[in-house]
């Protein structure tokens, strides 16, 4: 019985002209997303190699040791399929004196033409097209049959309701999900054909991404069937589904970030810089007051001692300069502590704001898919932090290397230029696969829960449904 | 007759529960977009003020004109409340230096907003209202046919042209006029929050609203057209949804991406690398030529000193002439080297600018096949938050850099001539400079005339599409089988 219902549903969907049209569009978009992603990756690799070569060549030309160097974020094949924030963060960072300058040259700031309409990556196709695809084929799954009178006809035979609804959902999922695997497999095949080599971990992540896409399709499919069970007319269920789609795909994710931004204020870097300047000014004023006090105190002591010899005078001057140096060192240290505290506070608030925004956004299955796919492809918010940490660690390595070379040159009493092969390489590695899986797990679980909840909703609603 | 038909259409739209639901959602979203835009503008203003005050403090500390340096910031424009465009992608600050580099864009500093992007008025109109328009018109003809009311209507003597005109007008009035309410409430919010909108801003906002209604009208007419071409409402909606996805989501992106594939623009690194290779060649040539000059001089010197027929004074005189000639030759070569370098640099930059312009022109032209792109480009243009924002900002900073450098150099020279100030500096008693004289940077937008001129093409495209949809609806309906 169940098989029969599944086959009926499968046939009904697959043999419709609607399916041929929408499936054609979906397939084309999926293959296009893979193709453009691969092309973009190849261009990025070319650009990255050229940038590195140009940066390294400065050592060949230079006779002196430079403490500044630029490092670049290497392109990742998966990051070209799901862009996430990779085009929004600066790709180059200038390193100097154990520190680094703000990340610059983000793709969108260098090429604003791409920022106007953005790119069309695999996540975008999944997000928009798969959900619409699911809605289009299941918004009238139950009430449509009721309107046409076929539902009453079906229940003229002894068909258990539970089996009917289960067959409907399973059949629709198989009819939509399985054909979609074809363009997805073609896309996967394009990767090795076009010369992109992926590691085993990357293949696994890509497969999990497709599983997430299927789960996302399932969410909209079960939700559509559920809405179709609780509404009388197919036009009403379509209206509801469209409103839900707009809210889920377009409104909730955006509103969540804006809402979190309004709830948790994060001080801007300019504001922190302003506070730093204020503190430095205050310290300068305090320093001047202390300077007067110290001069007065030491010269008073000198006058009281009655010793007017040049040695005593020199001794007092020395004491004054040592005291002032100590005060200055204390002030610098305090300023450093103050500024790092301000940055730490900003970092904490930003993390808090991001956490809040992402949790609000998770009300929407679309946001969940975005978060899962960007995490799997290494283009989530974690990319920025990871890159920042790696650059900070590398700046320490590089400074050690420069200091060592400078010392060697001083000992040798001659300037030996740095050979490009000697420079420690900046290695950027994406997070460990186990860590990625741990981070993606809650989102996969949420997608599963959405599926279960809507499936149960459809099940319960259909058991009480009036097929007349 | 027309009045009655319009009234019927109006009643059927306004009294439907669908209208109440969709209209409420749209109103909330429009007002929310105004509110969030205002909050965003205020945050951007506070960030800008911090940049200005940091800069002032830095300048106040400077004690010598020669060491004067500054950083400029971009004052946020109130129009970004309605159309964010690429405002958040473009760096907001730039230190005044030989090479102008913008940094600290809103999205790079607050990456969480880059994950899901902003929700401005333009986004609501482009995505939500276009869907809203489709939702109310996809069954305007075929739906009536399915319900049997079309046959009933034509049982009376109703001219078809008048019927379809009433359909279009009725839907337009029924959907556009109510949407003015949340827009007006949004405007009230802008006034209450005391946003510094000038006359020009209001005028641009009014034109933006006009363009938005044109865009909305297009989808409305498109809905009626597709509805007149199909027999069943479900088929009509399917077609409309596919067209909507293509127009709003696919074509704009695909246009720019295709242009990106066809027109290759060299990256900054590739340009730097090309320049570096050419520079090496030029320097090599310079060295070769100067070595030749010097070798020649050495040979001539040798000949001069080995000459026995010349007096000592004559030798000294000729030696000086020879040295001057060599120096002049080297200097001329040096000047040529600088000239050649600058010319090659200019050539590379011009090529880069031209290629970039070609790519942008091609990308935008291709994407203009979609009315959604035409609308977005018009909106970005009116709000000045489009692609020109970056180029204009960079150009204005470059102009300011020249003014600033000239001012600093002039002051530096004056300071060097001032012996007292020089002495004070040596003794470490120099006073901070008077920063009130320092030229200020203020980012200025284009004239309203210029903006309108640029927008005309997109308004023209939208109007053309509307005409096409209206004409199509008329023709299709005149041939429509009402049975």
Using the beta-carbon criterion (under 8 Å), do A109 and B390 form an inter-chain contact? yes
Cβ–Cβ contact A409 with B under 8 A: no
Write down the pLDDT at residue A254.
84
Query: CB-CB: which of A109, A262, A268 is closest to B47?
Result: A268
Instruction: State the complex-level ipTM.
Output: 0.74
Nearest to B89 among A112, A273, A353 (CB): A112
Rounded to the nearest angstrom, the minimum Cα separation between A116 and chain B is: 6
What whole-number distance in Å separates Cα of residue A368 and Cα of residue A366? Answer: 5
Joined tokens for residue B440: 């200020």
Is B261 within 8 Å of A242 when comparing Cβ atoms? Answer: no
Q: Does residue B272 belong to the interface with chain A, where contact is any CB pair within 8 Å?
A: yes
- Rounded to whole angstroms, how far apart are CA atoms B259 and A175? 36
Interface of A with B in 270-329 (CB under 8 A): 270-271, 273-274, 277, 281
pLDDT over 90 (residue B218): yes
Secondary structure of chain A in HEC code, one letter for each residue = CHHHHHHHHHHHHHCCHHHHHHHHHHHHHHHHHHHHHHHHHHHHHHHHHHHHHHHHHHHHHCCCCCCCEEEECCCCHHHHHCCCCCCCCCCEEEEECCEECCCECCHHHHCHHHHHHCCCCHHHHHHHHHHHHHHHHHCCCCHHHHHHCHHHHHCCCCCCHHHHHHHHHHHHHHHHHHHHHHHHHHHHHHHHHCCCCCCHHHHHHHHHHHHHHHHHHHHHHHHHHHHHHHCCCHHHHHHHHHHHHHHHHHHHHHHHHHHHHHHCCCCCHHHHHHHHHHHHHHHHHHHHHHHHHHHHHHHHHHHHHCCCCHHHHHHHHHHHHHHHHHHHHHHHHHHHHHHHHHHHHHHHHHHHHHHHHHHHHCCCHHHHHHHHHHHHCCCCHHHHHHHHHHHHHHHHHHHHHHHHHHHHHHHHCCCCCCCHHHCCCCCCCCCCHHHHHHHHHHHHHHHHHHHHHHHHHHHHHHHCCCCC
B31 close to A (CB below 8 A)? no
Whether A184 and A214 have beta carbons less than 8 Å apart is answered as: no
CA distance B176 to A84: 36
Cα distance from A434 to chain B (closest Cα, Å)?
23
**Selection from B75, B67, B62, B74 nearest residue B100 by Cα:** B74
Residues of A in contact with B18 (CB under 8 A): 236, 239
Query: Does the beta-carbon distance from B119 to A251 stay under 8 Å?
Result: yes
For the cut 70, the answer to whether the pLDDT of residue B344 exceeds it is yes
CA gap A271, B48 in Å, rounded: 9
Distance of CA B231 to the CA centre of its chain: 43
Q: What is the residue extent of each domain of chain B? A: 2-263+368-478, 268-362
Spatial separation of the C-alpha atoms in residues A49 and A38, rounded to whole Å? 17
The model's pLDDT over B2-23, given as tens digits with 9 standing for 90+, comes to 778 888 888 888 888 878 888 8
CA–CA distance from A461 to each of A161, A225, A240, A455, A467 (Å)?
11, 10, 16, 10, 12
Cα separation, A430 vs A75, in Å, equals: 11
Query: For each of chain A's 468 residues, which pLDDT tens digit applies?
Result: 778 888 888 888 888 877 887 788 888 889 988 998 998 899 889 888 888 887 777 776 666 667 778 888 888 899 889 988 888 888 888 887 777 776 777 778 777 777 777 778 889 888 888 898 889 888 888 888 888 888 888 888 888 888 888 888 888 888 888 888 899 999 999 999 999 999 888 999 999 999 999 999 999 999 999 999 998 888 888 888 988 988 898 888 888 888 888 888 888 888 888 888 888 888 888 888 888 888 888 888 888 887 778 888 888 888 888 888 888 888 888 888 898 899 899 889 988 998 899 899 999 999 999 999 999 998 888 888 888 888 888 888 888 888 888 788 777 766 667 777 778 888 888 778 888 889 999 999 999 999 999 999 999 998 888 877
């Amino acid at each position: 019985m169940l098989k029969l219902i599944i086959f009926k549903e499968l046939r009904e969907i697959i043999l419709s002209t609607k399916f041929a049209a929408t499936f054609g569009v979906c397939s084309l978009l999926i293959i296009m997303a893979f193709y453009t992603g691969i092309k973009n990756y190849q261009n990025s690799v070319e650009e990255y190699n050229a940038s590195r070569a140009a940066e390294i060549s400065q050592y060949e030309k230079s006779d002196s040791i430079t403490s500044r160097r630029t490092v670049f974020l290497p392109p990742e094949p998966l990051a070209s399929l799901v862009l996430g924030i990779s085009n929004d963060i600066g790709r180059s960072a200038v390193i100097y004196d154990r520190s680094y300058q703000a990340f610059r040259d983000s793709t969108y700031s260098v090429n604003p033409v791409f920022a106007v309409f953005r790119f069309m990556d695999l996540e975008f196709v999944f997000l928009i097209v798969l959900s619409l695809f699911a809605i289009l084929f299941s918004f009238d799954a139950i009430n449509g049959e009721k309107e046409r009178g076929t539902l009453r006809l079906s229940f003229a035979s002894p068909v258990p309701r539970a089996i009917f609804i289960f067959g409907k959902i399973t059949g629709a999922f198989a009819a939509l999900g399985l054909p979609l695997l074809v363009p997805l497999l073609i896309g996967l095949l394009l990767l090795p054909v076009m010369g992109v080599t992926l590691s085993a971990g990357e293949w696994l992540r890509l497969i999990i991404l497709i599983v997430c896409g299927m789960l996302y399709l399932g969410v909209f499919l079960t939700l559509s069937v559920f809405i179709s069970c609780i509404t009388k007319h197919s036009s009403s269920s379509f209206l509801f589904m469209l409103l839900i789609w707009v809210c889920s795909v377009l409104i909730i994710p955006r509103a969540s970030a804006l809402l979190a931004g309004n709830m948790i204020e994060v001080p801007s870097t300019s504001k922190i810089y302003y506070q730093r300047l204020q503190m430095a000014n205050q310290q300068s004023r305090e320093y001047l007051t202390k300077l007067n006090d110290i001069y007065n105190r030491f010269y008073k002591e000198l006058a009281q001692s009655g010793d007017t010899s040049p040695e005593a005078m020199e001794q007092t001057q020395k004491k004054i300069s040592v005291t002032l140096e100590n005060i200055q060192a204390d002030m610098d240290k305090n300023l450093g502590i103050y500024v790092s505290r301000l940055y730490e506070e900003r970092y904490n608030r930003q993390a808090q704001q991001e956490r809040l925004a992402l949790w609000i956004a998770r009300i929407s299955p679309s946001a969940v898919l975005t978060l899962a796919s960007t995490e799997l492809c290494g283009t989530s918010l974690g990319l920025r932090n990871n890159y920042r940490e790696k650059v900070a660690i590398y700046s320490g390595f590089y400074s050690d290397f420069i200091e060592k070379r400078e010392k060697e040159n001083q000992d040798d009493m001659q300037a030996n230029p740095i050979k490009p092969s000697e420079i420690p390489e900046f290695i950027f590695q994406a997070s460990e696969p186990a860590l990625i899986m741990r981070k993606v797990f809650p989102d996969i679980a949420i997608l599963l829960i959405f599926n279960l909840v809507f499936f149960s909703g459809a099940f319960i609603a259909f058991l009480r449904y009036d097929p007349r | 007759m027309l009045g009655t038909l319009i009234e019927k259409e109006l009643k059927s739209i306004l009294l439907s529960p669908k209208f109440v639901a969709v209209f409420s959602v749209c109103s909330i979203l429009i007002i929310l977009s105004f509110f969030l835009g205002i909050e965003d503008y205020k945050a951007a203003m506070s960030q800008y003020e911090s940049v200005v005050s940091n800069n002032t403090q830095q300048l106040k500390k400077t004690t010598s004109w020669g060491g004067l340096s500054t950083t400029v910031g971009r004052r946020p424009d109130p129009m970004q409340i309605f159309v964010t465009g690429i405002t958040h992608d473009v760096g907001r600050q730039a230190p005044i230096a030989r090479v102008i580099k913008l940094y600290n864009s809103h999205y790079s500093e607050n990456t969480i907003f880059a994950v899901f992007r902003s929700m401005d008025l333009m986004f609501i109109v482009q995505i939500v209202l276009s869907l809203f328009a489709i939702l109310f018109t996809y069954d305007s003809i075929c739906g009536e046919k399915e319900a049997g009311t079309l046959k009933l209507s034509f049982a009376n003597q109703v001219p078809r042209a008048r019927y379809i005109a009433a359909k279009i007008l009725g839907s337009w009035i029924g959907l556009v006029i109510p949407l003015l309410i949340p827009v007006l409430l949004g405007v009230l919010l802008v006034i209450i929050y005391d946003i510094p909108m000038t006359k020009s801003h209001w005028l641009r906002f009014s034109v933006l609203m006009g363009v938005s209604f044109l865009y909305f009208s297009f989808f409305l007419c498109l809905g009626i057209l597709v509805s007149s071409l199909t027999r069943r409402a479900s088929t009509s909606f399917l077609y409309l949804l596919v067209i909507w996805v293509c127009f709003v989501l696919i074509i704009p992106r695909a246009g720019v991406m295709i242009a990106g594939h066809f027109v290759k623009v060299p990256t900054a690194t590739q340009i730097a690398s090309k320049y570096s290779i050419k520079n090496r060649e030029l320097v090599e040539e310079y060295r070769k030529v100067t070595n030749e000059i010097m070798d020649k001089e050495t040979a001539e010197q040798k000949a001069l000193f080995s000459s026995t027929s010349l007096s000592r004074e004559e030798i000294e005189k000729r030696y000086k002439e020879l040295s001057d000639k060599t120096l002049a030759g080297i200097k001329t070569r040096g000047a040529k080297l600088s000239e050649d370098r600058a010319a090659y640099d200019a050539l590379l930059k011009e090529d880069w600018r031209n290629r970039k312009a070609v790519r942008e022109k091609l990308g935008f032209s291709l994407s203009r096949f979609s009315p959604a792109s035409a609308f977005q480009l018009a909106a970005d243009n009116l709000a000045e938050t489009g692609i020109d924002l970056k180029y204009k900002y960079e150009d204005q900073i470059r102009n300011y850099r020249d003014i600033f450098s000239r001012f600093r150099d002039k002051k530096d020279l004056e300071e060097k001539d001032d012996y007292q100030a020089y002495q004070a500096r040596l003794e470490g008693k120099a006073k901070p400079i008077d920063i009130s004289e320092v030229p200020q940077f203020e980012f200025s937008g284009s004239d309203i005339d210029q903006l309108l001129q640029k927008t005309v093409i997109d308004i023209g495209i939208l109007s053309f599409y509307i005409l096409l949809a209206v004409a199509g609806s008329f023709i299709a309906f005149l041939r429509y089988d009402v049975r």
